[in-house]
Structure 1
């Protein structure tokens, strides 16, 4: 198998008296879709946050290997450098989308590129093309409150892809959706990531979502207890 696109070694993270990560090793390869599952409090979201550079571990390391350029030791970066890494290299989809309600769908998507220095006109055009690809043509000027839950999540998916992110992290992206809409959102998420040769890491409690991924990693008490490739 190819070299991991992101790799964690001996991750430890403690919150007060709770050890959220207790020596986690994990390698994720380019083009994989990996579901991280576990009960509430198992450490699965903490693991995602440490991999993505949102949270710094107490010990251990994370290395990101972009398609071009030298490997990046995420855990050695300053907070501002981790923020830049997330903005430029990673994409994120969360349960509630975390979209800006005052902006339209196309503005929400374009903003990610504009923050990275892309001209507004170019960013809007690129954003509109992603929205169309995800079935939202004609909805570019709707504000988030005018969209259904599934439509809003597709806006979030488009935003995650607008900067060309090699690696997308999704935290319970279907958690607030019914089963039919959840399936549609996963269709969109997988098509826009692994379908384009990119990599997806998704935290989920839903076995149906996990079954759509190429590998499922089970976490309990801050440790990985199993890693199973889909049949």
Structure 2
């Protein structure tokens, strides 16, 4: 299977630092898998996510995205090109959501489509559908201060998916939530994977990592472990990833079943 994202020799050296934040990292991300990036504070996990996602330009190395229009050398894009890539190809969910306080839930989701040139009425219609799908029907016109932490993260997940992005990056998406709400948010992210999207999530929570298809562990800017679920579970699948297929209705995951890995034939 052709990776959706490939990094080779990825190095990030911050000015004034004696050691690199990332040190010649190689990683492939396959379509339809969920990848958890773990490591101690300062290990380079958030730097890796930001570099893979085109938020940060590497000091050295390459990042290639298999975009809908063809391969894109993310590392070689200028600021405008990386901004366009993030807007059109990628979805993001962060620990604090990074939503706009002055906008309603509906507007926060719709703006992602409006930036792509979609008329406001169409963008808001699509946003309303996603909010309803994630259990926020009736809350479309609430501002962030009127939403709980879990509800705000659902808005962020809706925003990440409304553009049709095939690849979602999440940085500690459950870190500011209680365990129950965090599990619900993770259910929704994994449901997106079951529907054909790819997820790369930075987490310090072993419970989050345990539900990912694959766990990549960093130490001092280097990959020190890369395990797939079947191998970690002692299975005989040759390391092949499997994942849950989740049925979501009204923002709740009703049941899950185990599915084979996503491939292009299922798109």
TM-score range for the pair, normalised by the shorter chain length: over 0.9
Let me know the Cα RMSD of the aligned residues.
Answer: 0.8
1:103 — aligned with what? 103
Q: Which has the higher contact order (CA 8 A, sep 6+)?
A: 1
Counterparts of 2:136 and 2:206 in 1: how far apart (Å)?
A: 27
The question of 1:204 aligning with 2:208 is answered no
Counterparts of 2:137 and 2:188 in 1: how far apart (Å)?
A: 14
Q: 1:130-149, CA deviations, whole angstroms, 9 ceiling, x for partnerless residues?
A: 01111111111111110100
1:169 — aligned with what? 169
2:225 — aligned with what? 226
1:40 — aligned with what? 41
Counterparts of 1:196 and 1:117 in 2: how far apart (Å)?
A: 25
- Please report how far the alpha carbon of residue 188 of structure 1 lies from its aligned counterpart in structure 2 after TM superposition: 1.1
- Please report how far the alpha carbon of residue 69 of structure 1 lies from its aligned counterpart in structure 2 after TM superposition: 2.4
Counterparts of 1:29 and 1:43 in 2: how far apart (Å)?
A: 21
- Please report how far the alpha carbon of residue 211 of structure 1 lies from its aligned counterpart in structure 2 after TM superposition: 1.0
Counterparts of 1:50 and 1:100 in 2: how far apart (Å)?
A: 24
2:265 — aligned with what? none
- Please report how far the alpha carbon of residue 70 of structure 1 lies from its aligned counterpart in structure 2 after TM superposition: 1.7
Asked which structure has the greater CA Rg, the reply is 2
Q: Matched residue of 2:21: which SS? A: strand
Stretches of structure 1 lacking an aligned partner (at least 5 in a row): none
1:15-94 pair list within 5 angstroms: 15=14, 16-17=16-17, 18-66=19-67, 68-94=68-94
1:142-181 pair list within 5 angstroms: 142-181=142-181
- Please report how far the alpha carbon of residue 109 of structure 1 lies from its aligned counterpart in structure 2 after TM superposition: 0.3
Number of residue pairs matched by the alignment: 228
Counterparts of 1:154 and 1:90 in 2: how far apart (Å)?
A: 17
- Please report how far the alpha carbon of residue 189 of structure 1 lies from its aligned counterpart in structure 2 after TM superposition: 1.3
Stretches of structure 2 lacking an aligned partner (at least 5 in a row): 234-267
- Please report how far the alpha carbon of residue 154 of structure 1 lies from its aligned counterpart in structure 2 after TM superposition: 0.4
1:4 — aligned with what? 3
Counterparts of 1:7 and 1:174 in 2: how far apart (Å)?
A: 26
The question of 1:112 aligning with 2:112 is answered yes
1:112-151 pair list within 5 angstroms: 112-151=112-151
Counterparts of 2:130 and 2:219 in 1: how far apart (Å)?
A: 37
Counterparts of 1:43 and 1:136 in 2: how far apart (Å)?
A: 35
Counterparts of 1:182 and 1:83 in 2: how far apart (Å)?
A: 29
Structure 1 moving runs of 4+ over 4 Å: none
